Amino acid sequence: MGKRPLARDGPASRETILAAAERTFAEAGLSGARVDRIARRAHVNKALLYYYFRSKEGLYRAVLEEHLREFAREAREVLEAQGDARSKVLGFVSAHFDFLSVRPLFPSLMQRFFMTGGRSLDRLKAKYVLPTYRGLMRVIEQGVRDGEFYEVDGRQTAISLAALVVHYFLAAPWLKTMARMDAYGRENLARRKMEVLGFIRRALVRKGRRE
């Protein structure tokens, strides 16, 4: 790689590149993103991208992994905490909602991530996504066995819980243009989160176990 190319921001330039890359990958995906565009957005020499990340694919993985690692950590804390299954499931959904509510580019990134194959991306899924999904599924199944939850399929319910959260944020552009609603407005976020958690309580938690 040779000497490190000079950059305007020095050590901070890596974070600047990641921010510019996140925006570009969210818009165009891995195949459609251009390194030149990312460099221009970050106001750095293109050589600096290769110095830090070696390739466009390496940069893409770095952008994804920063988010995936953090959410996996938060999810693990909730799912492995002391308490009943109801508290863990609702805590997980709440954490998932809060995580996405401050990362408006992440839902689009994840949608493209799941649609893109390749060994290195599959490793990210295996390292971060699958353990979280399986942890949630185990908690749901435990809740069914303990009589907290209705008889549900753990796998399908885990998918449904994720969809309840993710769809709202993926639909944010449509809501803004067609429904004239700011999905990220404080009141709308609070209302949506309350409705999602209430829906889950009614659909999953047996009567008498909802308080």
DSSP states along 78-138: HHTSSS-HHHHHHHHHHHHHHHHHT-TTHHHHHHHHHH---HHHHHHIIIIIHHHHHHHHH
State how far the Cα of 202 lies from the Cα of 198, in Å rounded to an integer.
Answer: 6
pLDDT of 10 reads 53
Q: Which of 10-19, 59-68, 84-93, 184-193 is the least confident region?
A: 10-19
pLDDT of 209 reads 63
Residue position matching structure tokens 């165009």: 28
Q: What pTM, to 2 d.p., does this model score?
A: 0.89
Mean model confidence pLDDT for the chain: 92
pLDDT of 91 reads 98
Over residues 116-174, the pLDDT tens digits come to 878 888 999 999 999 999 999 999 999 999 999 999 999 999 999 999 999 999 999 99
Domains detected in the chain: 1-54 (1.10.10.60), 61-204 (1.10.357.10)
